[in-house]
Chain A
Amino acid sequence: MLKKEISAVLRKSESWGWVLEPDAQKIFSLYGFKIPRYGVATRGEQALAIARAIGYPVAAKIVSPAIVHKSDVKGVVLNIRDDATLLATLARLQTLDGFAGMLIAEMVRGLELIIGAKNDVQFGPMILVGLGGVGVEIYKDVSLRMAPLKSRDVDNMLEELTARKLLAGYRGAEPVNLAALKKTLLSFSKLMMDLQDRVESVDLNPVMCTAKSCTVVDSRIMLKK
């Protein structure tokens, strides 16, 4: 059973076919995923209040039903360190197509992974994990399984990645908390089974993983037509 808030968000998003980032983040947070602290502003004083509450540096991202790929329109600005840059960013984002707000979020660091799902016609929900970031479709270092994932499936998926050495802590870097990553994948698989009638595909990209935890930094939910 879907929680009421989630059903409401999905219904609202149907008219443009995908879920806006703040709403998607809300869904993941309701399902117990760790997400960065964030707020959405349309005006300057709002933006400043949110940024100060979170504490600089922050990331700012366009919220618009017309813009699925935010980076393509320079709709993502990272590492904003002061009020002036924040306000200038807001002024620029306000001019983009369909501006509905600017999402201001805590900057999170870690190993960039992608966790995704696709509702396959023949096999139903499929879960993907791999090396994330903007290069994901270039390196294609991903592993794919049919949901619901069993614990053994998750182990095999991570073992299959070329990036498994990065997860284990490559050349002195801290290893990623594999238990947290595994837990994230298992809850994601469960969520996708719950959402399979409504959702076409999902990208959590990036998911930032550290020695402590995995945080869903950006998410996109495409709905079934």
Chain B
Amino acid sequence: MNLKPLFEPRTLAVIGVSSTNERHPANVIFEKNNHRYPVEVFGVNPRGGKLHDEPLFERIGDVPKKIDLAVIAARADFVPDILAQCIDAGVKSAAVISGGFSEGGRADLQERMAAIAREAKFPFIGPNCLGLFVPFRVDTFFLPIERMIKPSPGNVAFVSQSGGILVDQMIKFTQQGVGMSKAVSIGNKALVREIDLLKYLLTDPATRVIAFYVEGFGAGEGREFVLAADCSPKPVILMKSGKSEAGHRAVSSHTASLAGDYTSFAAAVAQHNIIEAADEQELVSFCEVLSSYTQPIEGKIGIITGSGGHGAMAVDACAAANLTVPAFAAELQDRLRGQLTENVRSIASVGNPVDLTGSAVDDDFVACAKILAEAPEVDCLVVLLLPYLPGVTLDIGVRLSQVQKQFRKPIVAYVPHVEKYNMMIDGFELNGTPVSPSIEGAVLMAKALARKKPC
């Protein structure tokens, strides 16, 4: 199966466009692609007619151009036939938006559709999904353009079993400044499943980080997926729902009782180099940091802070995340202290955490970051920045980002996320340094970098 036409269509057919109901999902998809994306769009409706001034074609075969991607938003009963017509007409791929299949008791329809497509090696996403969003390329989500929050283009691909979670996650990516390469809602995944998208995204030059939201894998599919992910040079992140064990099934062995569904899931995933995000916040943090830094770290953290309390909290979070915060030897401490501004030199503690105190200025942060960026004692810096300190300026983000780039040692920052501090946050993020809205989040970002080498 060639998935490329799904993601890079030049021609798009929307099947099910209504000439009378402007709010029909197919109309929303038709309109937004017709006016805002570099695809040529054709509407299809068995009754023909017109939408505004555009003709609607009665059959997909009547469309005068070869279609790369057909979006199918017709009633479930009609979909298997429509799919067959698409294949006959030489359409290259489809996204089936319609619901009313296995989720509504019509597994038979879904199976028929999958059988038709499988025989023709015809890739389709769905059914019961939103389809695909590729920045500046195509958008099959039936959500009105004015309501969607669209992340900027970037290198994170996100594949979700739930359309709702996907759209929500796109809002969170946008808020956190994480750019996306592809967003895919796979719904009932009748044909194209996680494993197919994983394999495609591994070869996609626009994608550096591959994230999934999974409710569950089909029989045997979890094994196939984790084995493929184990050897992936691109980090694979996964968020799972349905973790609570369903009821108290009678289990007659200790092992079956101890190795419940989610316990097995979590073990298999962790064993195969996949990073499991516990919640949406973790998912965003992991995507952000892994889209910035590719080299894995061992997990020896140097902490630079403007407040002792923040440093102590970060040390605790590191311990909980199995990261070490090595105490610095006297020689390194002397070098650090030697570079501090006069006011700070006598009051700072430089053991690790390096607590520069509330009197610190930008130069103190930058000087310490430079020394630690060269120190073999640590392989990642967590910088806890308090934008309300009088000596800290808006330049701090870009200056620390330069250190990170110059010495090729990852830096993650904590800055409280309120509107007032956005320009400081942008100084980091737009210059390639990830920022977390919480201390724990910054530490979790570092943890995500402590990823094993692929298999």
Contacts and interface: CB of A to CB of B under 8 A. Distances in A.
A143 B226 CA distance: 18
A123 B226 contact: yes
B1 interface: no
Interface size bucket, A side? 20 to 34
Given A128-B259, A146-B271, A146-B272, A116 B264 contact: no
Interface string A109-147: 000001011101111101010100000110010111110
A27 interface: no
Contacts of A116: 253-255, 258-259
A143 B270 CA distance: 12
A142 B220 CA distance: 24
A200 interface: yes
Question: Is the contact region of chain A dominated by helix, strand, or loop, or is it mixed?
Answer: strand
Interface string B46-88: 0000000000000000000000000000000000000000000
A146 B226 contact: yes
Contacts of A123: 222-223, 226, 264-265, 268
Contacts of B252: 18, 68-69, 201, 222
A144 B267 contact: yes
A202 B253 CA distance: 7
A83 interface: no
Contacts of A174: none
A203 B253 contact: yes
A200 B251 CA distance: 10
B258 A136 contact: yes
Contact of B223 (A122, A153, A222): A122
Contact of B267 (A114, A126, A203): A126
B257 interface: yes
B264 A118 contact: yes
Contacts, number: 94
B135 interface: no
B253 A222 contact: yes
A126 B226 CA distance: 13
A205 interface: yes
A20 B382 CA distance: 57
Contacts of B218: 122
Contacts of A128: 255, 258-259
A202 B255 contact: yes
A18 B252 CA distance: 10
A80 to B, nearest CB: 25
A153 B268 CA distance: 11
B254 A203 contact: yes
A201 B255 contact: yes
Interface size bucket, B side? 20 to 34
B358 interface: no
B421 interface: no
Question: Is the contact region of chain B dominated by helix, strand, or loop, or is it mixed?
Answer: helix
A61 interface: no
A202 B251 CA distance: 12
A63 to B, nearest CB: 17
B78 to A, nearest CB: 33
Nearest to B258: A142
B255 A122 contact: no
B271 A145 contact: yes
Contacts of A68: 252
Contacts of B255: 114, 116-118, 128, 201-203
B8 interface: no
Q: Identify which of A118, A137, A140 gathers the most chain B CB atoms within 10 Å of its CB.
A: A118
A69 B250 CA distance: 13
Contact of A144 (B220, B222, B254, B264): B264
B269 to A, nearest CB: 9
Contacts of A220: 253
A201 B222 CA distance: 18
Contact of B254 (A18, A114, A120, A200): A114
A162 B96 CA distance: 50
Contacts of A200: 253, 256
A140 B253 contact: no
A124 B259 CA distance: 12
Contact of A126 (B216, B254, B264, B272): B264
Interface in B212-270: 216-223, 226, 251-259, 261, 263-265, 267-268
Interface string B20-31: 000000000000
Nearest to A116: B255
Interface string A1-29: 00000000000000000100000000000
A116 B264 CA distance: 13
18 contacts: A120-B261, A122-B218, A122-B222, A122-B223, A122-B264, A122-B268, A123-B268, A124-B220, A124-B223, A128-B255, A128-B258, A144-B258, A144-B267, A145-B271, A200-B256, A202-B255, A205-B254, A222-B253
Closest 5 CB pairs of A and B: A116-B255, A122-B222, A144-B267, A201-B256, A201-B253
Given A128-B255, A136-B258, A200-B253, 10 more contacts: A69-B252, A118-B256, A123-B223, A123-B226, A124-B220, A128-B258, A128-B259, A142-B259, A145-B268, A201-B255
